[in-house]
A and B are shown apart, each in its own frame.
Chain A
Amino acid sequence: QQPVQSPQAVILREGEDAVINCSSSKALYSVHWYRQKHGEAPVFLMILLKGGEQKGHEKISASFNEKKQQSSLYLTASQLSYSGTYFCGANNNDMRFGAGTRLTVKP
């Protein structure tokens, strides 16, 4: 019942862009995105509600296709601080997370 994330890992140079995808087999009320840095707790980035709206956080944005139950996280002009593991969360009354995408940004 966990949502499926892809890719599992991605390596970027500073300034490059990346997309992380998340799909669920169940209808969702909302999709959440969190980032976890090594040795720290996951931190909330943004939430997307039904309606396909796109949200943004600095140069990170996301979309939610309600019909397909798919969400994508867009990281634009990546910075070193973007490194970490990104999790999507599939939310109904509970919250289930994907396996995560490890993002490494190199100078």
Chain B
Amino acid sequence: DVKVTQSSRYLVKRTGEKVFLECVQDMDHENMFWYRQDPGLGLRLIYFSYDVKMKEKGDIPEGYSVSREKKERFSLILESASTNQTSMYLCASSFLARGGELFFGEGSRLTVL
């Protein structure tokens, strides 16, 4: 079975903390994505990556960075967490950049106090 694993289902952090959200896929997929999900706004693309050490900004990259040192792992970093980053974060991967089905992780619900 294909699997995308996000390291933490629930996190509570303080304003100003550095936060790491980890995502690992076991399908040898080239493409990985980070989305943020908020009620009424759907899934908004933060960053995506075609290959190791490659990254592209999505629609809402401000306040976030990413790291992809290995093909199977794509990390989302909040350098200094703020309350408006409280949200559900979803990681996904796909084999093809064009026309490839996305496989999602279970999500990480982050609360910033």
A47–B103 alpha-carbon span in the complex (Å): 13
Please determine whether B45 and A95 come into contact, CB atoms closer than 8 angstroms.
Answer: yes
The number of residues on chain B lying at the interface, defined by a beta carbon within 8 Å of a beta carbon of chain A, is 26
Interface size class of chain A, counting residues whose CB lies under 8 Å from the partner chain: 20 to 34
Report which of B35, B40, B50, B103 forms a contact with A97, defined as CB distance below 8 A.
Answer: B35
* CB-nearest residue of chain B to A3: B42
Q: Which of A41, A43, A95 contacts B33 (CB 8 A)?
A: A95
Please give the residue numbers on chain B whose beta carbons come within 8 Å of chain A beta carbons, in ascending order.
33, 35, 40-45, 48, 50, 56, 58-59, 90, 92, 94, 97-99, 101-107
User: Can you list 9 A-B pairs with a CB-CB distance of less than 8 A?
Assistant: A44-B101, A49-B99, A91-B98, A91-B99, A95-B45, A95-B48, A95-B92, A95-B94, A100-B43
